[in-house]
Amino acid sequence: QIDYTGTEPSSPCNKCLNVSWDSTPPCTCTINFTLEHSFESNVFMYYGLSNFYQNHRRYVKSRDDSQLNGDNSSLLNPSKECEPYRTNEDKPIAPCGAIANSMFNDTLELYRIDNDTRTPITLIKKGIAWWTDKNVKFRNPTGDGNNLTALFQGTTKPVNWPKPVYMLDSEPDNNGFINEDFIVWMRTAALPTFRKLYRLIERKNNMQPTLQAGKYSLDIAYNYPVHSFDGRKRMILSTISWMGGKNPFLGIAYITVGSICFFLGVVLLFIHHKYGNRNTSADIPN
C-alpha cells in the first residue's frame, strides 16, 4: 500500500498537493518502493480514498440511471435529482450528477526497476467492473451508426471533467457510459475510507511470480484534488488465494458479535438462576 497524497514535505507528490481539476499539463510525480515478497498469482491494483463520503444521501441520489442505461430521452432531459450538475451552459450534462462529476481521474503506471532499467508492468483495464453493470445496467445511447460523438451530440461534459464521456477511451467497447473505470466509480462506497479496483495484472508464466520481489516505481498523473477536505489517496496491490482476498472485517465482526452474545448469555443465565420464578406448583392463581 503506497500513500501518495503528498501532505508530507518530503513526499515526491508534495508539489501536486494543491492541484486543480483542470490543471494543464497535469502534475506528475514518481514514488519508488520495494516489494519484500513476490506476488505469485494474479495481482489486483486498487486506488483508495479516505475521508470521502460517497454515502451522503444527496450524493448517492445525484444520478440518472435511465440516462446511464442509454435512454435517449433521458440523455437530453436528465433527472432533476442531478441538480446542480444537471445542465451547464443550457446543455444537458452527460453523465449528470455529483457522482459522475467527482469521478476519480488520477493515472497510475507501474514499473519494475532492474539495474537502473525501468520495465513497464502491463496493466489490464478491462474486466474490472461487475458483469451485470457492464452488460445490463450501463448502456450507451442508441441511434444510427456507432459514432459516439454523434450519439452524444447536444450534451456537454461534467463540470470537473477534462474531456467528454465519449473520449474516455479509444476502444469502442470501453468508451462512453460503458467505460469500466467510470462504471467502477459509479458503484458508491458505504464507508468514507474505501478502495476501488483500478487495474489487473495477470500472471503470464506459471514458473515465475506475477510481481517479483524487488524495486518498483509508481508514476502518477496527479489530477484528483483531496487536500481541500483532508482526504488521502493511496495505491494498493493485492492478490487472492483459493479462499479469496485478505479481509479481516468479517473475522473481527464474527468474533465481536460472538463475544457479546456469549457475555449476554452468561449474564442472563445468572439472572435466571438467581431471580427466576422457582415456583413449580401447577396451581393457577385466581
Size of the chain, expressed as the number of residues it contains:
286
Q: Structural domain boundaries of the chain?
A: 2-249
So what's the pLDDT on residue 234?
Answer: 95
Q: What phi, psi does 111 have (nearest 5°)?
A: -135, 145
So what's the pLDDT on residue 284?
Answer: 56
Strands (E), the chain: 2-3, 27-35, 43-50, 87-88, 91-92, 107-114, 117-120, 194-201, 214-222, 232-241, 244-245
So what's the pLDDT on residue 245?
Answer: 65
Per-residue pLDDT of the chain (286 residues; tens, 9 = 90+): 999 999 999 999 999 988 877 777 889 999 999 999 998 889 999 999 999 999 999 999 999 999 999 999 999 999 999 999 999 989 999 999 999 999 999 999 999 999 889 999 999 999 999 999 999 999 999 887 678 999 999 999 999 999 999 999 999 899 999 999 999 999 999 999 999 999 999 988 777 889 999 999 999 999 999 998 999 999 999 987 656 666 777 888 999 999 999 999 999 999 998 887 666 555 555 5
So what's the pLDDT on residue 283?
Answer: 57
Q: What phi, psi does 275 have (nearest 5°)?
A: -120, 0
**Residue 30 grid coordinates:** 514518481
Q: What phi, psi does 43 have (nearest 5°)?
A: -110, 140
